[in-house]
Every structure is written in C-alpha cells, then in structure tokens.
Structure 1
Amino acid sequence: MDSITTTLSVPFLPTNQSEVCAGADATLENTLFGVFYVLVFFLALNGNALALWIFSHQRGAASPANVFMLHLAVADLCYVFILPLRAAYHLTGGHWPFGEAACRAAGFLFYVNMYASLYFLACVAGDRYLAVVHAVRSLKARRARSAHIASLLLWAMVAVSMAPLLLSRQTAEVDGVTVCRQLYREKASRRALVSLGVAFTPPFLFTLACYLLIVRSLRRGSRLDPALKTKALRTIGLVMLIYVLCFLPYHVSRATFILGYARPDVGCGARRALSLANRLTSALTCLNAALDPLVYLFGAEKFRGTVRRMFCREEAAGISAATSGELKGTHESSLSAKSEF
C-alpha cells in the first residue's frame, strides 16, 4: 500500500483539454451532493457515537469481533467530522473556503476511513468464519488482545500509506475559485490501478471467501446453535452488501475513469460522464459510515441487547408518562364535574 498515497493523491490532469472538458460543476449536482453529505453526517454520527459508547462501556471480556467493530466505529467517526466540510464545498458552488490544511485532512481521512473500513470489515468476516467453521480449534486464537494488536497494525499501515497526502498541496485556483482537488477531480494516472488492486482486492476476496466457506459449512449441517448460524449469516451478508454498495462501484468507476479519461479519442461528453460517475461513486463510499452500525446491530449480541434495553426503557417511560397524564386528566375532570354540582 505504499504506492497508494502517490497514486491516489488527487492532482489535476495537466492538459488544457481535460480542464475544458471537465466544465463547471452544475448547480443541481452540487446541491444533491451537499444534501447527501448532510444526511450521511447525521446518520453516521448518531449511529457510530452510540456504538463507540456501548463498546467502550461493555462489561466482561470483549469478543474479537467486538474489538474490530470498535475500531471500525472509531474510523467512521474520524471521517464523519469532515462531512460538513464536503457538504459546504458543494453547497457553496464548488468553492473550498477552509484552507489548505483542511483540504489535506479531508483527503487523508477519506482514504484512511475507506481502507481501514475495508480491512476491519474483512477482520469481522474472518472472525465469523473462525467462530462458525472452526469453533473449537479457534478458541485460543480468538482473543481480544490479539484483535487489538491486529487493529493497531492495520491503523499504522493505512496511516503511513496515506501520510504523503498531508505533505502535498491539495488546493488550487480554477477560474478564480479555490477548489479542493479530491472533490474536484481525481488523478487519471494508470499507476493508480496498482494501488486500487492492492488496497481493495485482497480484503474483498478474503471477505467473499469467508462468506462462501461459512455458507458451505452451514449447508453441510454445522452443529452450531441456530441462533449463532443466523447471526453469522446476517453479519457476513451485511458486510458483503456494504462492499458491493459502497466500495465496489467506486473502485470499478476509478479503474474505468483511469483507463478512459486521458485517451485522445474520448470526447468531452464521455469525459464529463466519467468524471461525474467517479464523483458519484466517491460519495457512495461515505454510506459505509452510516451502514456500519447495522453490522454492530446484527453482529454484536451485547450491542443489540444494549440498544434493545435503551428503547424498552424509553418506551416504558413513554407509556408511564401517558398513563400518568390520563390519570391526571381523569382526576381533574372528576373535580371539575363535582364543582359544577
């Protein structure tokens, strides 16, 4: 992943033709992107903040899956706080008013969240595989301490790989407007294909393999408790959904963009479509921060139990308040009736 930072940093294409073909961002596009980022911000902030609070206050020994989900929530929250900046950029018509440092941080956290999420989700899938297929033999290996060590190593690998984004200039002036390069248009270098393959393909194939092996094991009549079987299938299925919905379209679009954008026989309309598809799928990657809490809900029993108790208490409090109000209203009506006589 050491080449990711240089190939996925987002300088502009050098040709004037490419700049002309890109055109100005449409008002409708900017509005839709801005509203989308605002909605994702509120969903992801509430879901991951709740998850982080629950995971950090759980009693007893944490399972490896819960450890990976805890780190996944941290990764999502690190990214959630730059979503308002992305929203403001689009809602102001493609102008970046926050300066160079904020633009660098936005690009850095975008890639750190995406690739940390990819690998943490793969870790969750791997833990589900061990728990289902090798339930007894994996007991010693599946320790919370080992999961924390693996998570810290993943954090270090991703952060170091993306660190050059913090050192290279990420803003530019285009037609008198300051733009943040990652949000304006990404680089169409063929060298980025190597980084896309290294960063995305291994965790995706690993997660897919875990899913297929778990399904095969369950079809062969695993002795695992039915409730645990359902939990494993839900977790892996949801993880695969996040891969397919949030990450796969972006990486396919990036590969298509890289291969097609700089070709001399590609017209301006096609380049515009490629650029728009790249921006759209880039925005879709943010959905993972809003969908990850569903992984916690289906994959972590203690998390689900805590959420259920919270809602039950709120529902009970609401019923109690309503009952109290009805009794109070009945008593007042009775007093009023007596006063009329």
Structure 2
Amino acid sequence: MKIQTTPTTDMDALTSILSNASSESSCAPVDNTVENMVFGGYYILVFLLALNGNALALWIFSRQRGTSSPANVFLLHLAVADLSYVIILPLRATYHLTGGHWPFGEIPCRVAGFLFYVNMYASLYFLACVAGDRYLAVVHAVRSLKIRRARYAHTISFSLWALVTVSMAPLLVTRQTAEVDGLTVCLQLYREKASRKALVSLAVAFTPPFLSTLSCYLLIIHSLRRGSRLEPQLKLRALRTIGLVMLIYVVCFLPYHASRATFILGYAHPDVSCQTRRGLSLANRVTSSLTCLNGGLDPLVYLFGAEKFRGTVRRLFFRDRAGGSGATSAGELKGTHESSVSAKSEF
C-alpha cells in the first residue's frame, strides 16, 4: 500500500493558485502578524515539551534490552518517529516569526515536509500496532503468547518504517519552494494541493490505521465489560490508555484529515469566495499544527501504557517514595491470572 501518492508535478499550478489568490482585487491584503506570532510561539512550546518527553522515553526504552514487550517495542519506535519531526519544529517557528518567509533554502524545505508526513503516518501505524498487541494481550492472552514477541514487533516496525519512507521519498526529490509576493514560501509546511488524487491518497493513508485502532480498542472494552480476568487496577489502566490514545486521534489527527479533505474539495473551486478560501487555508494551517501536538502527548501514552516506563519515571522523579511504590506494585500484581500476567507489562 502506498501511503503518500501526492506528486509534485502540479507545483507550478499550485504556485499560480497561491499567487492568484493573494492578488485578487476582491481580496485585500491582511495583516498576519498576530497569527504568525501565535504559530511561532506554539511551535517553540511544543518543541520543548515533545523533545524532553520523547528523549526521556527513548532513553528508558533503549535500556530495556532483552526484556521489552511488543508494546514497548512499538512505543520505542513511536518515540523515534516523534523525535524525527520534533527536531525541525524550530524551522517552522522561524518561518512564522519571520513573517511567512522561508530563509533556509530548498533542501531543508523538502526535509521538513518529508519528516512531517513520516512522523504523522508512522505514529498512526505504531499506535495501531500498540492497539493490536493489547487486543491480543487482553482478549487472547494465552493463545497469543507465542506470537507476541519483541523480535516480531521489531520486524513489523522496521517494515513500517520502510513502507512510510519509500512512500514519502518523492517529497525529497521534487521542488518545494516558490516565490509568492516577494516571499519564499515552503509549500511543504502546509501542503495545499487541490486534486481528487490527493483526496484518495489521504483516505488510503489515514483510514486503515484509524479503523484498526478503533476496532481493537472497542473489542478490548467489550472484553473488559464482559468480565475479563484482568485485575481491577489493570482494567482501569487499560481504559485510561485507550481513552488517551483516542483523545490523540480526536485532537491531533482527525481534525487535520477532515480539514484537508475539505480544503482539497473546496479551495480551487471557481465559485469559492476569497473569504472562504482564506478560511480553508487557515483551517489547514491550524489543524496541521495540531498534528505536532502528537509528539507532546505521546509521552503520556508511555506513562499510562508501559509499566516499566512508569516505574523508571517514578524512580527518577520520586526517589523518596520509590520503595513504597515498588512494594505496592509488586503486591498488586502478585498472584494474577494468566491474562493479567500477559498484559501487565503493557498496562
């Protein structure tokens, strides 16, 4: 399956659309100073939050060699995906703080767009993998023990990296900057391509991981309500993790894909007014910025969803209570059923 099939052969057409839109007599120029300051500050804040959280997560998960569960493996790769995009957020911030001008040149623009899509869809698929692994751990605890192995999880993860990287590779070899009204615009920051083919690509990229994640979590909730053998505290942790992951989808991913689909369908339509076009563009930028928040929220998934990660964080930041907490945790997990043994490292 090819995740990103949006070619850049329409770059000249897109540049023309942007230029025409900005120069229409009915569209008076607007002052975007406040908007740019808000976006710039937002990206700096998300950068600091996501960099610290995911760097800590990567350090913790990398120290769990030989004892990692499949879920922890997927979360490790999720942290790598987040960091690969977090590092270019300062470029986005600079773009806005300089008034919508891209001063870094062509190659950094391509890399920024490439890492944006790699992060987004790698994150979606790794979250889907976590959901699938937890479905097996809760609903088919005993039967899934043979296939729920860390080495299999690594194989799946590297295959997903290859799929996403190959799908996004065209973004690295095609021109992505344009001169619009005297400013250099990096078209990859807020990719605005109005074509039906882009709409199909959007659906193919987003729908499979979203439906897979939603289905797995609905089945887990159904199993827990029917009386799963998980202990009550583990059930609560499972439900909290499910709720957090779905919140990430609702806040970070669903708005962007809905807004982008609307943009593709409406932006280039001849009957669309200048004001509507501006609204579509703003919605596209706002929802695109929300996807970056995924990197700041994912560490909460690690905290709620990985017992060893949670224990390490507790020891690092709450050393005075580490002994008591460790004893309580051991007592709570002692003597659980087979299904609890299978799932405790994930919840």
TM over 0.5: yes
Q: Report whether the alignment pairs 1:20 with 2:23.
A: yes
Which residue in the other structure is 1:4 paired with?
4
In structure 1, which of residues 196, 200, 211 is the aligned counterpart of residue 206 of structure 2? 200
Q: Any stretches of 5+ residues in structure 1 without a counterpart?
A: 317-341
Which residue in the other structure is 2:314 paired with?
308
Q: Point out the structure with the larger helix share.
A: 1
Separation in 2 of the partners of 1:314 and 1:30?
A: 44
Identify if the C-alpha distance between structure 1 residues 305 and 3 changes in structure 2 by more than 3 Å, giving closer, same or farther.
closer
Identify if the C-alpha distance between structure 1 residues 54 and 97 changes in structure 2 by more than 3 Å, giving closer, same or farther.
same
Identify if the C-alpha distance between structure 1 residues 9 and 78 changes in structure 2 by more than 3 Å, giving closer, same or farther.
farther
Separation in 2 of the partners of 1:111 and 1:131?
A: 30
CA deviation string 1:74-108 (max 9, x = no partner): 00001010000000000000111111110000000
Identify if the C-alpha distance between structure 1 residues 20 and 4 changes in structure 2 by more than 3 Å, giving closer, same or farther.
farther
Q: Any stretches of 5+ residues in structure 2 without a counterpart?
A: 323-347
Separation in 2 of the partners of 1:25 and 1:181?
A: 20
Q: Report whether the alignment pairs 1:141 with 2:147.
A: yes
Contact residue 128 and residue 236 of structure 1 kept, 8 A: no
Which residue in the other structure is 1:319 paired with?
none
Contact residue 238 and residue 295 of structure 1 kept, 8 A: yes
Which residue in the other structure is 1:331 paired with?
none
Separation in 2 of the partners of 1:2 and 1:24?
A: 39
In structure 1, which of residues 185, 191, 196 is the aligned counterpart of residue 197 of structure 2? 191
Identify if the C-alpha distance between structure 1 residues 139 and 10 changes in structure 2 by more than 3 Å, giving closer, same or farther.
farther
Contact residue 69 and residue 124 of structure 1 kept, 8 A: yes
Which residue in the other structure is 2:93 paired with?
87
CA deviation string 1:217-267 (max 9, x = no partner): 111111122232222222222111111110000000001011111111110
**Ranges of 4+ aligned residues in structure 1 off by more than 6 Å:** none
Which residue in the other structure is 2:44 paired with?
38
Which residue in the other structure is 2:175 paired with?
169
> In structure 2, the residue corresponding to 1:4 is in which secondary structure?
coil
Q: Report whether the alignment pairs 1:244 with 2:250.
A: yes
Separation in 2 of the partners of 1:285 and 1:10?
A: 25
> In structure 2, the residue corresponding to 1:94 is in which secondary structure?
coil
Q: Which has the larger radius of gyration?
A: 1
Q: Report whether the alignment pairs 1:264 with 2:270.
A: yes
| Corresponding letter in the other structure for 2:242 | I
Identify if the C-alpha distance between structure 1 residues 314 and 276 changes in structure 2 by more than 3 Å, giving closer, same or farther.
farther
| Corresponding letter in the other structure for 1:20 | S
In structure 2, which of residues 142, 151, 158 is the aligned counterpart of residue 152 of structure 1? 158
Contact residue 252 and residue 292 of structure 2 kept, 8 A: yes
> In structure 2, the residue corresponding to 1:173 is in which secondary structure?
strand
TM-score (norm 1): 0.88
Aligned length: 316
Q: CA deviation at 1:182?
A: 2.2
Contact residue 113 and residue 188 of structure 2 kept, 8 A: yes
Q: CA deviation at 1:7?
A: 4.7
Which residue in the other structure is 1:294 paired with?
300
RMSD (Å) for aligned C-alpha atoms? 1.9
**Please, which moves more after superposition, 131-140 or 223-232?**
223-232
TM-score (norm 2): 0.87
Q: CA deviation at 1:313?
A: 2.6
Identity among equivalent positions (%) equals 76
Which residue in the other structure is 1:216 paired with?
222
Identify if the C-alpha distance between structure 1 residues 297 and 238 changes in structure 2 by more than 3 Å, giving closer, same or farther.
same
Separation in 2 of the partners of 1:103 and 1:120?
A: 26
In structure 1, which of residues 44, 49, 71 is the aligned counterpart of residue 77 of structure 2? 71
Contact residue 10 and residue 185 of structure 1 kept, 8 A: no
Q: CA deviation at 1:184?
A: 5.5
